[in-house]
Amino acid sequence: MRMLGNCEAPISREHIISESVIEILSSGGEFTVGGLPWLQAGETKALAPGNLTAKCLCRGHNSAIHPLDDCAKLFFSALKGCLERSEAEQPVLLSGHDLERWLLKTLKAMAASGNLASGRVKLPDLFQRDVDVVKMIEDPSTWPQATGLYFVMHPGSRFINNKRIQIQPWYGDSKQEIVGLWTSFLGLEFVLMIAAPVVSKSPILREWLYRPGRIRVNTGSTRNLIELSWADNRKHLSINASFDRSLVR
C-alpha cells in the first residue's frame, strides 16, 4: 500500500489470520496450522498466535484496515455460536463487503509473506494483472461485476463443523496468477472471485449462490441467523443449513 504515499513508519507485525479469529477458533486452547511451506504435506503444528505473523503493513495502514478484522471477529464468533448454542439469540448483522475485503487482505498477506504452498512447494504469489488489490481493499465499490463471495455447496450437501478456517488460492488459466480463493468457514465452503470472471467460460458460477444475504442455521429446534448487508442493488438469497451436533469432530 506504499503506492498511496501515506505510510506511517514503522513496518508492523500483522497477523496473517486475524488474532481475534484465531482466538475464537481455538477457544483458548491449542491452535494448529497446516499447508505452510515449512511443513510437510499433511503435517500440522501447534503455534502461539503471535508466531503466525509477518511484516506486511506499516503501522498506519495496519490500523486503517483494522475494522476488517473486527468484521471477521464478529462473523466467526456469530457462526461458531450458531453451531454451538442451545438457545437462539438475536440475529447478527454485518457487512458482506467487509468480509470479502478481509478475505482479500488475508490472501494478500499470505502471498506477500511467502506462505502460499502445496506440501513444501511454494505456490505462485502474483495476482492477475488487472486485479488492483489496494483499491479493492480500500473501496468495495471498485470490485468488478461478478467478483465477490460465492457459496459453492449444493442444496442437501452435508457439512461438519470442524472449527477451522481453510484458504486455498485460486489460479487462472495460466496457473501462475491468482484470480481468487477457495475457503471453508467451519465447514461451509465459499469461493471469493477477485478477478472479473467470464461467465460464459465459467458455467459453474451459475450454480453457485452469489453474495448470500443471510445464513440461517438450524440446530435441532434452535434457529439462528447471520445477515450480510450488500450495497449493490441486487437480490441476495439465503444459505439454509441444518447442523447435527452428533457429527461434531
Contact present, 180 and 146 (Cβ < 8 Å): no
Which of 44-53, 109-118, 194-203, 214-223 is predicted least confidently?
44-53
pLDDT for res 1:
52
Q: Residue 242: how many CA atoms within 13 Å on its side-chain side? A: 5
Which segments within 147-221 are labelled E, that is strand? 148-151, 165-171, 177-185, 188-193, 209-210, 214-219
Burial 174-187 (b: 16+ CB within 10 A, else e): eeebbbbbebbbbb
- Number of CB atoms found within 10 A of residue 63's CB: 12
Q: Say yes or no to pLDDT of 244 above 60.
A: yes
**Residue pLDDT, tens place only, 85-133:** 777 778 999 999 999 999 999 999 888 888 788 877 888 989 999 999 9
**Residue pLDDT, tens place only, 145-178:** 999 999 999 887 777 777 788 889 999 888 899 9
**In terms of Cα–Cα distance, which of 27, 45, 17 is closest to 83?**
27
Which of 55-64, 205-214, 230-239 is predicted least confidently?
55-64
Contacts of 29 (CB under 8 A, 6+ apart): none
Most confident of 2-11, 50-59, 209-218, 237-246: 209-218
Contacts of 55 (CB under 8 A, 6+ apart): 11, 12, 13, 14
CA distance 92 to 149: 18
**Residue pLDDT, tens place only, 51-78:** 666 666 555 445 557 789 999 999 999 9
